[in-house]
Amino acid sequence: MRRSHFIRSLPGLALGGSLAAGAAQAVGSLRILVPANPGGGWDTTARAFGKALLDSGGASSVHYDNKGGAAGAIGLAQFINSRKGDPQALLMMGSVMLGGIITTKPPVSLSQATPLARLANEYNVFVLPANSPFKSMNELLAQLQKDPASVKWGGGSRGSTEHIAAALIARAVGVDPNRLQFLPFRGGGEATAAVLGGNITVGGSGYSEFAESIQSGRMRAIAVTSPQRLKGLEVPTLKELGLPVEIGNWRGLYGAPGITPEQRQGLIEQIVTATRHRSWQELLDKHRWTPALLTGDAFSQFVDEEFSSLRLTLIKSGLL
């Protein structure tokens, strides 16, 4: 088994399966189910990619349905139960959903839907409110070692990349991850409000969710989970700080259960065409996302490997 891309997602444009000759043809209206509340990473990615689909001619219109809760499991269930055989339905998903499925064991399975493509990888950034008494990750970790209960971490659902990262950080500085005070939120909007309102000590999420607050000075970014510093963001990586933690949050698309192989291939072609459009490339740069295209059966195999790798990571971080 190759090394998991969940922990070390390699940039690139690896394509699984062959694409039919010629440009992808528009299929009319597409509907993307976003298994999270508006304003979070999945929602931002879905709407950004929907724009790329429109701009590239892959769709004449794109509609969005938000259904948050249980790390995406509620939205997954709705998608599976209501979109069977629908070739114009897409599900936004990613590593957080896999973590949610492992930790919550919902009555539906991701394998019931049709894997299409991984789109991009986003690394987490940890932030403090501007008025925090802590000025750096090192100061925060000194307090965590002194009194774990006094440091409230906020981020995505249980099993999310920021939750895992926080647990791995705690373990690295000698704190039992089970003593970590982690508060899960259903979307980036809730997490942002909690940081700015002083309801948590430190927040973790994808850069795109905190970007506006960081740029306006209302939040102070103190560390990122990427292998190198993110372009345009002079914030140290956890590895620079001596913490052996590197973790990425990839996102992708699934099709409805029961679509035909031809319908699946048509959707993959449209997705690939959209990723090559300038519109998508500009959004990758804007949100500090790393391109990580992987399609078809290769993507399906990747997801299977991610389930195994993520389960081991959750055990290592004390969350399972």
The residue ranking higher by pLDDT, 52 or 206, is 52
Q: How many CB atoms lie within 10 A of CB 194?
A: 18
Spell out the alpha helix ranges (H) of 258-295.
Answer: 261-275, 278-287
Tokens, residue 281: 């490339």
For the stretch 92-116, pLDDT in tens is 999 989 988 998 888 999 999 999 9
For the stretch 57-84, pLDDT in tens is 999 999 999 998 888 999 999 999 999 9
For the stretch 137-182, pLDDT in tens is 999 999 999 999 999 999 988 788 889 999 999 999 999 998 999 9
Mean pLDDT (whole number) for 292-304: 97
Q: Which amino acid is at 160?
A: S
What three-state secondary structure class fits 251? strand
Which pTM value belongs to this model?
A: 0.81
For the stretch 259-294, pLDDT in tens is 999 999 999 999 999 999 999 999 999 988 999 999
Q: Which residue, among 94, 92, 98, has the nearest Cα to 312 in the 3D structure?
A: 98
The residue ranking higher by pLDDT, 86 or 286, is 86
The residue ranking higher by pLDDT, 256 or 158, is 256
The residue ranking higher by pLDDT, 12 or 45, is 45
What three-state secondary structure class fits 50? helix
pLDDT band of 27, cuts 50, 70, 90: low
For the stretch 213-249, pLDDT in tens is 999 999 999 999 999 998 888 999 999 999 999 998 9
Tokens, residue 134: 């802590």
For the stretch 199-213, pLDDT in tens is 999 999 988 889 899
